[in-house]
Amino acid sequence: MANVVYMGIARVPDKQILVSCVATDSREQSKQQLDSILSRVLVSGRIDEHDRLTIADKDVGNIHYSADPALVYLVITATNYPQRTAFKLLSEARAEFEQEFKTELAGGKNDGVAKVAKPFLKRMMDRYEDVAREDKISSVALQVDQVKGLMQTNIQAALKNQENLETLLDSSDTMRNEASTFNRSTKDAKERMRWKSLKMNIFIFVLVLTLALLVLIPLFMKKREGETKA
């Protein structure tokens, strides 16, 4: 028995099956019987309660579906088929189907969708038939994502270190500029103090000289007058 037995896509509003496909080696159930399972899911009201659900059926296997307001994607698998892999299949099928057949979906032509989309379902079923292979691919993809995340973390850390180094260099330049400015200011202040001191000394010298002249000149004049009288 195939691992992926059946896959179908239907419209939710009018409960119309758009396209379905049965595994080539599935001889126990006909396509009509499996289509009827999809139809029963559509009318059961389960979709209104759960947008994702797995239903165990002893006759056909496990029924998994994923629905949105427009479409429901359903796959029937063997009972030992991993649930996570089944929902991964449905998620990938949804993304690719809506991208690849958006023109046909917009036109609302059921026959056109069924004709061109059946090979797509067959391809998806074949891809996920080998669980071990799909798990290995998922494992490798996970490892790649982990390595990518680690590289991004390292790059961010390197950029942060570079930013810190640039900040430190900027701080050093700022301190050096401030020190240079301080030295110039100190030198200018010393120069101003020197000139101020020199001007003060000149002022004191002129003042002392003036006072001396004011004292000495009268004495000199008085002495000269005395000599003249004698």
Q: CA 96 from chain center: how many Å?
A: 24
Which strand ranges, in their side-by-side order, compose the sheet holding 4-11? Answer: 16-22, 4-11, 71-77, 61-67, 52-57
Q: Please give the biggest Cα pair distance in the chain.
A: 164
- pLDDT score of 141 more than 60: no
**Six token digits for residue 228:** 């003249």
CB-CB contact of 1 with 78 (8 Å): yes
Does 135 have pLDDT greater than 70?
no
Q: Check residue 142 and give its pLDDT.
A: 42
Q: In the chain, which ranges are continuous DSSP H helix?
A: 31-44, 46-49, 83-100, 102-107, 110-127, 131-229
Kindly state which CATH superfamily the domain 4-129 is placed in: Longin domain (3.30.450.50)
Please give the average per-residue pLDDT across 40-57, as a whole number.
90
Question: What is the per-residue DSSP string for 32-98?
Answer: HHHHHHHHHHHHHSHHHH-SEEEEEETTTEEEEEEE-SSEEEEEEE-TTS-HHHHHHHHHHHHHHHH
User: What pLDDT sits at residue 133?
Assistant: 80
Q: How confident is the model at residue 145 (pLDDT cuts 50, 70, 90)?
A: low
CA distance 184 to 53: 79
53: Cβ contacts below 8 Å, ≥ 6 apart: 46, 64, 65
Using a cut of 0.75, tell me whether the model's pTM lies above it.
no
Q: Could you count the other beta carbons within 10 Å of the beta carbon of residue 129?
A: 17
Segment 130-152 shows an average pLDDT of 63
* Closest alpha carbon to 75 in 169, 179, 66, 119: 66
> What is the average pLDDT score of the chain?
82
Q: CB of 45 within 8 A of CB of 51?
A: no
Residue 19 CA to residue 107 CA, distance in Å, equals: 15
pLDDT bin (cut points 50, 70, 90) of residue 143 is low
Condensed to tens digits (0 to 9), the pLDDT of residues 62-100 reads: 999 999 999 999 999 999 999 999 999 999 999 999 888
For the cut 90, the answer to whether the pLDDT of residue 27 exceeds it is no
